[in-house]
Amino acid sequence: MNWLDANFLFASLFWGSVGVGYWIYGRRQTLWSPMIGGVAMIAIAYFVSSALLMSLFCLGAAVAVYFLARRGV
């Protein structure tokens, strides 16, 4: 794993920040789906070693949070 790859670092910073934003939003609104989605994005940004896979997984988590929020969960 190349920790100094610019694409990996940028993707990790971006998706980790989006995950923190989801978690803060869910905590302040007392909604479980954004909080869990935010924690999932943070974990994905930490554990996945490919920028492409990280982006795909985090996009999937964001879409899941969107549809769960539309259903009122």
1 in a structural domain: no
**Number of domains, the chain:** 1
52 in a structural domain: yes
Q: What is the 3-state secondary structure (H, E, C) of 7-65?
A: HHHHHHHHHHHHHHHHHHHHHHHCCHHHHHHHHHHHHHHHHCCCHHHHHHHHHHHHHHH
42 in a structural domain: yes
At residue 1, the pLDDT reads 62
Span 6-38, pLDDT tens digits? 999 999 999 999 999 999 999 999 999 999 999
17 in a structural domain: yes
Is the confidence at residue 68, as pLDDT, over 90? yes
State the chain's mean pLDDT as an integer. 93
Q: Which domain holds residue 53?
A: 6-71
30 in a structural domain: yes
